[in-house]
């Protein structure tokens, strides 16, 4: 295992900058927020630790890229920021996300509620779910894993056409695996920062995807024409477990972070670290490091205390109800399912420690 450890001065500059305007901006933050963010360059901090690399296939080793400090983020001329009339994140589900309508609807509401807390201060709205056929996307059966896949680029074009006037971004979510081009095996997600759209798949987050007993394998693709989507009738959907929900929340917030202009983090262990494989994605924490937290706060303008409190409420609230975030639908068989948050308990304890620092 390799540990990437930066000097205190490097981390301090990455967070605060040497630009007098940005230093002054930092000094105007609430005293508690400064105290928490200063943990970035405290060697003995038990809140924010260094990045650890476990294999040559990990992201930083295999995808070298320039790090982005706060000043570079702030000065990026291509960065998109929510404006007063574009402060909504829209979520578009494609195909069913659960084995029943109720599970599918509850799962979408859990993800919506999480995004509302994570991107505190922005509205998060749901678009009416659509079947795969509505997107007119290309699809295939993967030659290696023999599961159904839909074309990520085609979905992005569909989302761009559907983007509402008040949208900061539209993100598509699906339980069907994605591929970006014919030569690629798969992709967890893909986004267009210019268009403010993204598509993310949770298909590989089920506990059985990489096992011999995986039930989503398709023997042969039988389609009479490119417009025959009947193969997606009753396609395999993994069980919604606490681990699958946690992985989904991680992917969704990481990718929306990119739409805000946050590049892959190379400073500290952070949600915005890149990941090349599921094992590396699982090691990545749910939280942002102080440098990325300052970037997101700069983009949205939230109170860090209120944001953390909202995240604790989401974990504690077993009901999935997120008022004003659900499309109109019938109430038949309606009953809230308990939200599977066991996998989030450790993170809740970490947030409570942060709140203690913020409110000292």
Give the whole-angstrom CA distance, residue 78 versus residue 195. Answer: 12
Instruction: Provide the pairing of β-strand 88-94 with 123-126.
Output: parallel
Kindly tell me the sign of the dihedral angle through the C-alpha atoms of 346, 263, 167, 331. negative
Which is nearest to 272 in space by CA: 302, 296, 236? Answer: 296
Kindly tell me the sign of the dihedral angle through the C-alpha atoms of 306, 308, 309, 314. positive
Task: Read off φ and ψ for residue 309, nearest 5 degrees.
Answer: -65, -40
Give the whole-angstrom CA distance, residue 170 versus residue 198. Answer: 7
How much is the CA Rg of the chain, to the nearest whole Å?
21
The active-site residue, picked from 255, 318, 332, 349, is 255
Q: Is 103 left (phi over 0), alpha (psi -120 to 50) or beta?
A: alpha
**Does 255 qualify as catalytic in the annotation?**
yes
Which is nearest to 251 in space by CA: 114, 49, 94, 81? Answer: 114
DSSP code at position 280: H
DSSP code at position 355: H
Q: Which residues of 271-306 are buried (b: 16+ CB within 10 A; e: fewer)?
A: bbbbbeeeebbeebbbbbbbbbbbbbbbbbebbbbe
Tokens, residue 218: 């398709």
DSSP code at position 130: B
Q: Which residues are catalytic?
A: 255
């Amino acid at each position: 295992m390799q540990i990437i450890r930066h000097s205190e001065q490097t981390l301090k500059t990455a967070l605060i900058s040497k630009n007098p305007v940005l230093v002054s901006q930092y000094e105007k933050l609430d005293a508690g927020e400064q105290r928490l963010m200063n943990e970035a360059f405290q060697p003995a901090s038990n809140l924010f630790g260094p990045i650890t690399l476990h294999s040559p296939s990990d992201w930083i080793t295999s995808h070298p890229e320039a790090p982005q400090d706060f000043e570079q983020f702030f000065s990026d001329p291509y960065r998109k920021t929510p404006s007063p009339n574009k402060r909504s994140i829209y979520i578009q589900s494609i195909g069913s996300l659960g084995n029943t309508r109720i599970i599918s609807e509850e799962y979408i509401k859990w993800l919506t509620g999480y995004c509302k807390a994570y991107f505190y201060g922005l509205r998060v709205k749901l678009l009416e779910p659509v079947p795969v056929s509505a997107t007119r996307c290309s699809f295939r059966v993967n030659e290696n894993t023999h599961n159904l896949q839909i074309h990520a680029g085609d979905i992005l074009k569909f989302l761009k056409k559907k983007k509402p006037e008040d949208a900061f971004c539209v993100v598509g979510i699906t339980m069907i695996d994605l591929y970006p081009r014919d030569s690629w095996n798969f992709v967890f997600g893909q986004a267009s920062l210019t268009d403010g759209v993204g598509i993310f798949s949770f298909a590989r987050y089920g506990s059985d995807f990489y096992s011999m007993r995986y039930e989503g394998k398709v023997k042969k693709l039988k389609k009479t024409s490119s417009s025959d989507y009947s193969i997606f009738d009753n396609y395999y959907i993994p069980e919604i477990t606490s681990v699958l929900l946690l992985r989904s929340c991680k992917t969704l917030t990481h990718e929306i972070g990119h739409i805000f202009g946050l590049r892959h983090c190379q400073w500290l262990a952070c949600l915005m670290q890149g990941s090349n494989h599921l094992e590396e994605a699982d090691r990545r924490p749910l939280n942002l490091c102080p440098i990325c937290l300052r970037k997101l706060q700069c983009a949205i303008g939230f109170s860090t205390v209120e944001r953390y409190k909202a995240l604790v409420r989401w974990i504690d609230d077993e009901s999935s109800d997120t008022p004003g975030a659900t499309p109109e639908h019938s109430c038949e068989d309606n009953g809230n399912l308990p939200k599977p948050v066991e996998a989030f308990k450790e993170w809740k304890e970490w947030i409570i420690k942060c709140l203690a620092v913020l409110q000292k």
